[in-house]
Every structure is written in C-alpha cells, then in structure tokens.
C-alpha cells in the first residue's frame, strides 16, 4: 500500500526548512547505503551526525507524531532518525531494495525496516526527473509530490529515483518498524480505522456501533501488534 500523507508541513514551514537545508553542508550519499545500493546511488546527503540534520529530523518526527493519517497508516513502533538527500542534475538512484535491518546510530539497537517514507522539500516545478518509482503488485508507481507532503510505502518494495535533468530535488527519507509487521494486517487496520473515522462523523462518537467497531479495531491490534 502506497499512502500519500499530504501537508506534513505548511508552505511557511517548508520555506524555513528549505532555508536551513540550502545552507547545509552536503556530502556523498553513500554514507548510509548497503553494499548493493551503493552501486546504484548517486546523490548528496547531510551527514548523519550533523546538528542541523538532528534538529530538522526531530521537527519531522514531532510533526508526524500528531498526524492522524500517518499514525493510522504506519502504526509506528520505532522510527529511525530522518535523513536528507539532494539530487542535482545527473544524480539518480537505480533500482534497489533497502536493507531489512538497520542500526540506530549511536546505540546498540537495530530496527527492522517495515515502512519507508520520503517527504519532499522541493516543489515539482523546481526540477525535471527525480521521480520516485516504486514497484508494486499493480506495476510501477511514479511519485512526485509537492513540497511538504510525503509518501509512505512498504520497505519490501523495489524502488528507484530517476535521473534529475534540471534543478535539484531535496527530500527527507527514513525508515520505521511498525507495530504490525505484516503488510496485509496493517492494511486491514488502516481501512478499518479510516471507516470508523468517517462513520464517526456521520453517527457521532457515542453511537453503540462506533464503540463496538472501535473495540474490534483495538482487539485486532492487541492480537497482531509487537511492542
Ligand atoms: Ni532506497
């Protein structure tokens, strides 16, 4: 399931974040790649240990922490610190899959990557190329969102970023371990939660049917979640 999370940041917030990103120091993007991915990758990143990366990464985590659509779709357990990349003219990232297990930098902890997220910080008209192409069971899906919006997709998917032919594409990307490991179970919970939200608007939160469905939702989480 590919889910667009619109307006994680407002346009004013995007302007502030972009000002900091444009002023940052960018290094070779292969600092974070697995061996196979490194062969396909040509881009720039902000160093993991950089203070500005940490500050902006925390802004992303707190924005997502109060985003109902993101929380409903991801049911996140642990989110790795967000990273930032920039693709200039000639840069791209060939087809690859991300590593299944990633270390949490600065700790002994590791997480399983269930979901990947990209948040765009360049407007689509600022650059040509640079589409995120995700292979799905319904064929390849091309993603290029407005600045401030993000896409959540299963980390099991093969994906690539097409070569940029004009301008620069700046985004944040990161991985997370979901409380619900299985993609099918996660999709059922997302669909159920979205239906409950819509029905609540029609029937009101005190409706006995809504209360019963909400109990079913939580009972399924209780059955399937790892925390
Ligand atoms: Ni990747």
State how far the Cα of 155 lies from the Cα of 152, in Å rounded to an integer.
Answer: 9
Q: Each residue of 8-41: b (16+ CB within 10 Å) or e?
A: bbeeeebeebbeebeebebeebeebbeeebeeeb
Same domain, 65 and 22: yes
Find where tokens 């940029």 sit.
Answer: 164
State how far the Cα of 76 lies from the Cα of 74, in Å rounded to an integer.
Answer: 5
Same domain, 109 and 198: no
State how far the Cα of 180 lies from the Cα of 224, in Å rounded to an integer.
Answer: 6
Residue 104 backbone zone (phi > 0: left; psi -120 to 50: alpha; other: beta): beta
pLDDT score at 105: 82
pTM: 0.95
Distance 202 CA to ligand 1 centre (A): 40
Distance 159 CA to ligand 1 centre (A): 6
CATH of the domain at 24: 2.60.120.620
- Residue pLDDT, tens place only, 177-204: 999 999 999 999 999 999 999 999 999 9
State how far the Cα of 119 lies from the Cα of 121, in Å rounded to an integer.
Answer: 7
Distance 39 CA to ligand 1 centre (A): 12
Same domain, 207 and 135: no
Residues around ligand 1, an ion, CB closer than 5 A: 98
State how far the Cα of 82 lies from the Cα of 174, in Å rounded to an integer.
Answer: 5
Distance 12 CA to ligand 1 centre (A): 28
CB atoms within 10 A of CB 44: 18
pLDDT score at 36: 66
Same domain, 212 and 146: no
State how far the Cα of 137 lies from the Cα of 67, in Å rounded to an integer.
Answer: 27
pLDDT score at 189: 98
Q: What angle do CA 47, 50, 53 make, to 5 degrees?
A: 90
Collapsed DSSP state (helix, strand, coil) of residue 93: strand
Same domain, 173 and 202: no
Q: Which residues of the chain have pLDDT under 50?
A: none
Residue ranges making up the domain that contains 202: 183-224
Same domain, 60 and 13: yes
* Token duo for residue 35: 């061996």
State how far the Cα of 142 lies from the Cα of 135, in Å rounded to an integer.
Answer: 9
Same domain, 27 and 113: yes
Same domain, 111 and 207: no
Same domain, 98 and 170: yes
Same domain, 159 and 193: no
Same domain, 55 and 94: yes
Q: In the chain, how many domains are there? A: 2
Same domain, 43 and 138: yes
Distance 119 CA to ligand 1 centre (A): 13
pLDDT score at 114: 98
pLDDT score at 39: 75
State how far the Cα of 91 lies from the Cα of 79, in Å rounded to an integer.
Answer: 27
Phi, then psi, of 9 in degrees rounded to 5: -130, 145
CATH of the domain at 200: 4.10.860
pLDDT score at 99: 93
C-alpha distance from residue 209 to each of 27, 203, 205, 215 (Å)? 54, 9, 9, 10
pLDDT score at 34: 65
H/E stretch holding 192: helix 183-203
């Amino acid at each position: 399931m590919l889910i667009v999370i619109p307006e994680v940041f407002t346009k004013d917030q995007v302007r502030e974040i972009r000002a900091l990103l444009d002023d940052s120091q960018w290094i070779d993007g292969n600092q974070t790649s697995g061996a196979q991915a490194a062969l396909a990758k040509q881009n720039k990143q902000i160093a993991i240990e950089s203070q500005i990366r940490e500050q902006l990464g925390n802004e992303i985590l707190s924005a997502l922490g109060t985003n109902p659509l993101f929380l409903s779709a991801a049911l996140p357990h642990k989110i790795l610190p967000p990273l930032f990349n920039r693709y200039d003219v000639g840069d791209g990232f060939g087809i690859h899959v991300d590593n299944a297990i990633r270390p949490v930098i600065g700790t002994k902890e590791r997480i399983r990557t269930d979901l990947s997220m990209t948040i765009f910080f360049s407007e689509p008209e600022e650059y040509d190329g640079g589409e995120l192409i995700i292979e799905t069971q319904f064929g390849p899906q091309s993603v290029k969102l407005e600045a401030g919006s993000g896409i959540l997709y299963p980390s099991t998917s093969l994906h690539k970023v097409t070569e940029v032919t004009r301008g620069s594409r700046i985004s944040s990307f990161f991985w997370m371990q979901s409380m619900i490991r299985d993609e099918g179970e996660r999709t059922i919970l997302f669909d159920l939660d979205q239906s409950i939200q819509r029905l609540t608007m029609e029937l009101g939160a005190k409706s006995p049917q809504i209360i019963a469905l909400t109990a079913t939702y939580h009972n399924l989480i209780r059955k399937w979640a790892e925390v």
